[in-house]
Amino acid sequence: MTNAFAFNAKPIDTAQLESLFFSPVRAFAALSVDLGEKLINAQLEASRAYAETGVAQLRSLASVKDAEGLKGFVEGQQQIAQELTERLKGDAEKVVALQQQFVQESQKLTEGSVKQAQASAQEGVKAATQTAAKAVSAANAAK
- Decide if pLDDT at 126 tops 90: no
Rounded to the nearest angstrom, the gap between the alpha carbon of residue 37 and the centroid of all alpha carbons in its chain is: 10
pLDDT value, residue 35: 95
Nearest to 52 by CA among 90, 82, 80: 80
Share of the chain above pLDDT 70, in %: 90
The answer to whether residue 114 is domain-embedded is yes
Read off the pTM.
0.68
The answer to whether residue 127 is domain-embedded is yes
Contacts of 138 (CB under 8 A, 6+ apart): none
The answer to whether residue 11 is domain-embedded is no
Query: 86-100: b or e for each residue (b if 16 or more CB lie within 10 Å)?
Result: eeeeebeeeeeebee
Count up the domains in the chain and report the number. Answer: 1
In tens, the pLDDT along 66-106 reads 999 999 999 999 999 999 999 999 999 999 999 999 999 99
Single-letter code of the amino acid located at 20: L
The answer to whether residue 1 is domain-embedded is no
pLDDT value, residue 12: 64
44-48, 54-58, 110-114, range with the lowest pLDDT: 110-114
Single-letter code of the amino acid located at 100: Q
The answer to whether residue 65 is domain-embedded is yes
CA distance 93 to 131: 57
The answer to whether residue 90 is domain-embedded is yes
- Decide if pLDDT at 60 tops 70: yes
The answer to whether residue 72 is domain-embedded is yes
pLDDT value, residue 8: 58
The answer to whether residue 18 is domain-embedded is no
Q: State which residues form the domain around 121.
A: 28-134
Rounded to the nearest angstrom, the gap between the alpha carbon of residue 102 and the centroid of all alpha carbons in its chain is: 5
Q: What's the farthest any 2 CA atoms get from each other in the chain? A: 113
